[in-house]
Amino acid sequence: MEEGGTILVIGSSTVMAQHAGLAVSNHLVDGEGNALGEDKYYVPGSVLRVKVDNTRPLAYGLSEEVDIFFSNSPVMRMEPAVAERSVTPVAWFDSSEPLRSGWAWGQQYLKGGVAVAEAKVGEGNLFLFGAEIANRGQPHGTFTFLFNGIFLGGVR
C-alpha cells in the first residue's frame, strides 16, 4: 500500500486503519471511551440509511443517501488529526434514527459515525467499509462501493 497498492477492507477488518497509523477509532463508545454494551446498543442484521458524499470517486454512481446492510458492523470515528493523515469520510450516519428495516437498539449512538471512508497511505489507498457492503441480496444497492474500490485500485 505504501508503494502504490490498494487495500479494501470490510467489517471488522477496518481495524487496518489503526494498524496503518490513521486517526480513526471506534465511534460506538461511552463517555469514558469504553465500547457500548449490548444493554445500550445492538443492531443485528438490519438495513440502515447513510448519507453519501457522491462527489468522491469511491461513491461514483450512488445517490446522496443509500441503504446499507448492517450487522453490528464497525462504525468509525474520525479523530481531529484525520485531516493531517488524508482520511476522508465517504458515507456516514447523519440521523439518530437511520433504521429502514429490522430493529436497532440504541440506534441514536450511530449519529455522526462513519460507515465508509477512504485514506491515502503513502502512494496507495485504503478503502474502509464498516458496513456489510457485500452481504447476500441487499448489496445490489452497495456493490457500487466495492466495484469502485476495485476499479480505483488499478488507477495510478
State the amino acid at position 87 in one-letter form: V
Contact status, residue 66 vs residue 132, Cβ threshold 8 Å = no
pLDDT of residue 82: 58
pLDDT of residue 89: 95
Contact status, residue 107 vs residue 43, Cβ threshold 8 Å = yes
pLDDT of residue 138: 60
pLDDT of residue 107: 97
From its phi and psi, is residue 4 left (phi > 0), alpha (psi between -120 and 50) or beta? left
d(CA 133, CA 143): 6
Taken as a whole, the chain contains a residue count of 156
∠ CA 103-95-81, rounded to 5°: 115
| Grid coordinates belonging to 66 | 443509500
pLDDT of residue 140: 73
φ/ψ (deg, to 5) at 69:
-85, 135
Return all residues near 112 (Cβ < 8 A) that are at least 6 apart. 27, 77, 92, 93, 94
How many Cβ atoms from other residues are within 10 Å of residue 31's Cβ?
5
pTM listed for this prediction: 0.93
pLDDT of residue 137: 64
pLDDT along the chain (156 residues), means of 10: 92 93 92 92 94 97 94 92 76 97 96 96 93 76 91 78
d(CA 46, CA 101): 6
∠ CA 27-83-24, rounded to 5°: 25
